Structure 1
């Protein structure tokens, strides 16, 4: 039986640790790997030749856009396996009209984001960052001890999750092991959804007002742009924490900065809009902000989950088994 021909398309310098030797050996066992080097440009004649032969294309971060013109140059292509999170910025919907199946590793990327969120919630409720700064400025611990008498800690706190995405659902499942009350806002979730056993469905304003920690897990869509604005942020209780590991565009950043500048709330901000804030942004200096450079998703060795999931899907496809993480065309635009 002839093995299907497989090619890679991504930026090699952006995908270190995604595929290890064991992953490559598994792919070589079930496919004819046309080249271990990824296609980095479809304008390159050699890249176009590989694309024209490939039946399976494994993509990842930095993959050139699979435009209609590129897809028509791939007459044999039957599967796109995206070894990264969202695939909606990589493929044109024409892929579905051409009968190409699409799968992605977004579920693998969701794991470290959920872990980061859980850690952020725990540290935020403990006021760990503030206590660190107090200890640095006052080694006697007097100011730190005074804060410990405030209403802080993780016992019987209320956590608000905005969005029942794959990440939001993983976070809700993790929170079930703690003494938390969990609220959820998501207009697409109905009573009877399994997540309602872990979280109470409420409207957005109620969630913002009742939560000690608000964590954002909604997709970036035209309808969700700036869904968190001044009115919502002003509903948050004094001392509450706002966490964003989703997309910066979901938040009116000027309103968020203004609210953080009052010192009334705390912020754990992993994503911003623009992606890199201006160098004079107050987010870099505010003592009540824990700002990170978009690290919640897979970084370093965590990227290995992405490659492993893509390889699993390629093997299923070769064995003519159903794909576990297939991206249906109607869901493409609703992806994060």
Structure 2
């Protein structure tokens, strides 16, 4: 959720009668995204703290009609599908000081030259983390309850030995009490997931991240772990690492084989973190269950056996912000712009030095 302080307007915000002397800003968003991300209230707040150019840079920055707006632009507001910002574009924007991104990763958006020139870049990844963590908590609960296997059995008319339609036959364990949950990656999302499973389920958490524990191990129920130990000990394993050259196929056949019979694997990060063929073998054997919001390839080919496996649940990359959830991104971005207009530092600055190892 966006905190109250993030939604506060700066004390220096102009009244309706005062001239608007805030920094010059330019939207580089598709109009459809602008309408989806900014509520009417958020748009009013934005217009109260900056002077928005009359045009938007949607198709690129080389439109002659944008020349004056680009020359004056101090704050560039970007989002999904915005044109890339490199050295040539920076030449057109000599006054640019801030890029505020109404989405998550900026890797495809900003060239290193942007950081080299001292431009502050912020993103809305914290806001996008909220629905992903919520989805993951739901997946932990439904996976532990064997909801997907039992739904499949119900749909096929399966009954247990006593004739009940609730056929629990052969399940290695079921339920959310006393779970040990493994979280791979102390990312924004991973950290939220750790807190949720601790607060809601009281689960013990094993955390694997070679770089940081994000302060999570101050909780006595959270323990930093090597990856093999985490995989071998956890009932549920949830993946929240970035996909980099180092992490591709992080969970291959050798790693998946460490998971105990009946364990549940959840992936809401990137499909390339898991060896799909190795996972397919483990799931189709019935040894482990899987909840997959991302796959490699994405989507899986039509007719892939994972779609019909009773112990797998595959969704079309829906964990991140969709529908009414995307307005969280706009609210966060507007709060960043309000801070800039008030002369305060942004809260969600992207660390250029750590960009290579984040999502």
TM-score by length of 1: 0.93
Q: Does 1:201 align with 2:224?
A: yes
Q: Secondary structure at the residue paired with 2:319? A: coil
Contact 2:181 2:237 in 1 (8 A): yes
* 1:34 match: secondary structure: strand
Match runs of 1:156-167 below 5 Å: 156-167=178-189
Structure 2 partner of 1:75: 94
Correspondence for 1:281 among 285, 300, 304:
304
Aligned equivalent of 1:45: 64
Contact 2:217 2:224 in 1 (8 A): no
Contact 1:10 1:40 in 2 (8 A): no
Distance 1:43 1:224 in 2: 37
Where does 1:15-26 land on structure 2 (aligned, <5 Å)?
16-26=35-45
Kindly tell me: are residues 46 and 267 of structure 1, through their superposed partners in 2, closer, same or farther at Cα, counting changes over 3 Å?
A: farther
Give 2:277's aligned residue. 254
For the residues of structure 2 that align with 1:228 and 1:221, how far apart are their CA atoms? 13
Q: Residues 69-115 of structure 1, C-alpha deviation per residue, up to 9 Å, x if partnerless?
A: 22222111110000101112210111122121111110000010000
Does structure 2 retain, via aligned residues, the 8 Å contact 1:15–1:61? no
CA distance in 2, matches of 1:237, 1:142: 28
CA distance in 2, matches of 1:199, 1:15: 40
3-state secondary structure, aligned to 2:291 = strand
Question: Given the alignment of the two structures, is residue 88 of structure 1 paired with residue 107 of structure 2, yes or no?
Answer: yes
Distance across 1 between alignment mates of 2:153 and 2:353? 51
**CA distance, structure 2, for counterparts of residue 296 and residue 243 of structure 1:** 12
The answer to whether 1:123 aligns with 2:139 is no
Residue of structure 1 equivalent to 2:80: 61
Deviation sequence 1:125-145 (CA, Å, 0-9, x none): 001111112222228672524
Q: Report the Cα distance in structure 2 between the residues aligned to 1:149 and 1:333, rounded to whole angstroms.
A: 42
Q: For residues 202-226 of structure 1, what are the alpha-carbon distances to aligned partners after superposition, in whole Å with 9 as ceiling and x for unaligned?
A: 1111111111111001111111111
Question: Deviation at 1:326?
Answer: 1.0
Structure 1 window deviating more from structure 2 (256-265 vs 32-41): it is 32-41
Asked if 1:100 corresponds to 2:119, the answer is yes
Within the candidate set 217, 231, 236, 2:240 is matched to 217
Residues 150 and 233 of structure 1: CA distance in aligned 2, closer, same or farther (over 3 Å): closer
Q: Is the CA contact (8 Å cut-off) linking 1:7 and 1:54 kept in structure 2?
A: yes
Segments of 5+ residues of structure 2 without an aligned counterpart are: 1-19
Kindly indicate whether residue 324 of structure 2 is the aligned counterpart of residue 301 of structure 1.
yes
Q: Which residue of 2 aligns with 1:152?
A: 174
Gap runs ≥5 in structure 1: none
**Distance (whole Å) between structure 1 residues aligned to residue 278 and residue 67 of structure 2:** 47
Partner of 1:123: helix, strand, or coil? Answer: helix
Quick one: structure 1 residues 36 and 312, their matched pair in 2 at CA, closer, same or farther if it must change by over 3 Å? farther
Does 1:3 pair with 2:25? no
Query: Are the aligned partners of 2:264 and 2:288 in contact in 1 as well (CA < 8 Å)?
Result: yes
Name the stretch that deviates more: 42-51 or 30-39: 42-51
**In terms of mean alpha carbon deviation, does 130-139 or 283-292 score higher?**
130-139
Does the CA-based 8 Å contact 1:211-1:240 persist in structure 2?
yes
Distance 1:163 1:72 in 2: 38
Preserved contact between residue 12 and residue 38 of structure 1 (Cα < 8 Å): no
Cα gap change, 1:228 to 1:148, in 2 (>3 Å): closer
Q: Is the 8 A contact 2:74 2:97 kept in 1?
A: yes
Aligned-residue RMSD, C-alpha: 2.1
